[in-house]
Structure 1
Amino acid sequence: MENPSIEAAKGPWSVPVTVAEVPDTGRHVELVPDEATRDAIAQEAGLVALPRLVATFDLARRGADSLRLEGRVTATVIQNCVVTLEPIETEIDEPVELFFRPEPVGAAASGAEEGSHSFEGEEPPETLVNGTVDLGIIATEFLNLGIDPYPRKEGAVFDEPVARDPASHPFAALAALKKDPGSKGH
């Protein structure tokens, strides 16, 4: 049995794949979590509900120990509108493109890291932990990237409170003193 703290750190959806499980010809994976897992992901993400979540990935080996992952995470999420607090449904479609390579080992690897060539505009590679990527965690992370932090129902507008009598605001007395040139405050 795995350590419970490690299990909790994985999040509600874990689908580990090792580089060794990916054939030289590549591997296509389509993941659809069950209802209980979607509910746990929704709770963790602060959603009202997560009725649909699909992650499709194409995995390709790069050399003996590196991996390229391309795909999409699509979902239907239900959140509360920040203005009306009514539930609203939103569609998410996030592209995924990641490159993984083994974690550096020892001082020799850190020197190799510093000398490695990166091209402008490229994302740095992700680190494979024990030769494994967790597709469930990746899908959850990209889902979270696609969630609108301030969902607003179409047409919902936040109206500022209407100002009452200008003379009734807390600084009205100070404003009156400033306007009166004969006051003793000058």
Structure 2
Amino acid sequence: MTDRTALRVADLPQNAPTPFDLRPDAGALEYLREQLHLVGLRKVRFFGDIRARGKRDWVLSGQLGATVLQPCVVTLDPVTTRIDTTVRRVYLANWHEPDEAETEMPEDDETEALGAEIDPWSVMEEALALALPLYPRKEGAGLGDAVFTEPGKQAITDDDAKPFAGLAGLRDVLKKDE
């Protein structure tokens, strides 16, 4: 499978895995780049298979690889990151949506409801979005110290603002008096 077609569950063989191998073309890469707000995206490949688990449930297992360019959170220079991750989704026929107003998220975030189709392309998009670094930083990039104050006054540094900095100074004074 090399296109964006979702697979109908009714057409999947029960006794053999159904392989998929997604390698987005230039147009699809541009679409993904825009959707994920990336500077660049290349070498995307998502491959694996879908297989039956029991009589009614299905498991999608795959490997996602991509090279992404994102702006550095400090300098806005492009930062290149290689993503290589294992992806797994379990589709359950007897999935029940929580009906309470507030519900804790289950630890198993791979499980979802089984619909009429399983869409490896959508899984690839979601897995890529989740694998992106939240705060990409160029090597060696740092914010440094920023000091602001009124003219003629001594600036307060980060060390001065620490809650126990004054206690340490008091401790030192008391030791000298002993």
Which residue of the partner structure matches residue 67 of structure 1?
58
User: Among residues 111, 120, 136, which one is paired with 1:125 in the alignment?
Assistant: 111
The residue identity in structure 1 corresponding to 2:65 is: T
Cα shift at 1:64: 3.9
1:157 aligns with 2:147: no
**Where in structure 2 are the equivalents of 1:133-148 lying within 5 Å?**
133-148=118-133
Q: TM-score, normalised by structure 1?
A: 0.67
Unaligned 5+ segments in structure 2 are: 98-105, 156-178
1:87 aligns with 2:72: no
Distance 1:166 1:32, change over 3 A: farther
Cα shift at 1:19: 2.2
1:16 aligns with 2:6: yes
Identity in percent: 29
Aligned-residue RMSD, C-alpha: 2.6
Which residue of the partner structure matches residue 5 of structure 1?
none
Distance 1:124 1:97, change over 3 A: closer
1:35 aligns with 2:26: yes
Unaligned 5+ segments in structure 1 are: 1-12, 111-119, 170-186
Which residue of the partner structure matches residue 173 of structure 2?
none
> Between Structure 1 and Structure 2, which shows a larger proportion of helix residues?
1
Cα shift at 1:50: 0.9
Q: How many residues align?
A: 143
Comparing 62-71 and 25-34, the one that deviates more: 62-71
The residue identity in structure 1 corresponding to 2:136 is: P
Give a deviation string over 1:95-117, Cα, whole Å, max 9, x none.
Answer: 1122112366xxxx89xxxxxxx
Distance 1:76 1:126, change over 3 A: same
- Ranges of 4+ aligned residues in structure 1 off by more than 6 Å: none
8 Å contact from structure 1 (residues 81, 151) kept in 2? yes
Give a deviation string over 1:42-84, Cα, whole Å, max 9, x none.
Answer: 1111101111211112211123432111111110001111111
8 Å contact from structure 1 (residues 70, 96) kept in 2? yes
Cα shift at 1:162: 3.5
8 Å contact from structure 1 (residues 19, 65) kept in 2? no
Distance 1:44 1:103, change over 3 A: farther
8 Å contact from structure 1 (residues 30, 54) kept in 2? yes
